[in-house]
Amino acid sequence: MNRLLVSILCFLAALSIGQPYSSVYANDEISIQSESAIVMDAKSGDVLYEKNANEQMYPASITKIATAIYAIENGNLNDLVTVSERARNADGTRVYLEEGEVVTLDKLIKGMVINSGNDAAIAIAEHLNGSVEAFSDEINDYLKEVIGVTDTHFVNPSGLFDEDHQTTAYDMAQITQYAMQNQTFRQIFQMKELPWDGESWDTTIINHHKLLIDSSFPYVTGGKTGFVSESGHTLVTTAKNDWIDVIVVTLKAESSRIAYNDTISLLNYSLNGFETVSIEAGTKYEVNMDQQYELKDELSYTKKRQEVIEELIDESGELSIIGEGERLIKKIALSIVEKDDEKPVEQTVKANGLTGQYSIVLMLSFAMALFLTGYFFLDVRKM
């Protein structure tokens, strides 16, 4: 029986050493009804939740997030734009521009984002690239080459339905993450209302995103709604607290109530459960006392709040951020630096191939082996 026990312990120790890392958060903690959704950490880019996030969907008016950041980066906000007949006759939601009306690009972007004006979107596209068609070609190149999305193709600036106008929840989160790095975009995206003095419409336009204008949700920092019958209800929401900034995208909800309920659930899940951690650029690590490595750029990652994290570095200088349950959070190759004995190492993590929890497992296994060896030795002496 003793020998059987030893065999079992050795087998379990070997299993614990060889377990692979898992990088997936458990999505069974939350259930939503929208057909596709994602939660992304706006700083680290880590995905905290996803449901069919890479499935192509019709985005409807959340398309205007892409149009807005493209216009901000490629146009002059003080430009005067003359409204065309095509813009004047746009279908769907409008800010009631008149043909020949002259409006600044800045005002058009605000009218497009806050009131979802399709006429403003067309006027922007024609001003920037001459036509909606030319704009579509240019923004698709921009989305791929500048932002880096791979599964998005837009054929208009507004999101009105077209079979070829598609994106994914993941791509929309990436587009929003990129856009939120721009101060002008952030200021517009968080606007709750705007006095509108147009040729044929004098009013105050109110943001369509209910969570943004509801004082019950002070952590919401921006958002865009969308709906056409083919897309269902789509929603992009940004929010932040003291621990984390997040982007929530929900696509193809059967009703606006479902879209908002799903978004609230995902906001509660992410804002209450996670935090962003950053490692400063220039942090140095030491391996076996004979080699130093350096983190060239700041590294941000997301972890569960109160989660114990390990920073492990192997002989090749690859840094792994490991969470509980052997979950691989992030891995990055460090740069070799010449060791300077006169300069102290700001931060060191020593490695011998196996570190952290692995070292603990090995030490426990070794201690157990010594204990059992002594036990058997005494047992034999008694015989």
DSSP conformational letter for 229: T
Beta bridge pairs of residue 233:
227, 253
Contact 109, 71 (CB under 8 A): yes
* 359 included as an active-site residue: no
The token pair at 318 is 């690859």
* 116 included as an active-site residue: yes
- Marked catalytic residue, from 34, 44, 61, 231: 61
Contact 49, 27 (CB under 8 A): yes
DSSP code per residue over 303-357: EETT---EEEE-TT-EEEEEEGGGEEEEEEEPEEE---TTS--SS----SSS-TH
Distances from the Cα of 181 to the Cα of 128, 211, 272, 364, 372, angstroms: 22, 21, 23, 47, 59
Beta bridge pairs of residue 278:
300
* 215 included as an active-site residue: no
Number of H helices, E strands in the chain: 11, 17
- Marked catalytic residue, from 51, 64, 110, 330: 64
- Marked catalytic residue, from 34, 116, 158, 231: 116
End-to-end, the C-alpha distance of the chain in Å comes to: 16
Distances from the Cα of 13 to the Cα of 151, 226, 360, 361, 366, angstroms: 44, 53, 11, 7, 10
For the annotated catalytic residues, the residue numbers are 61, 64, 116
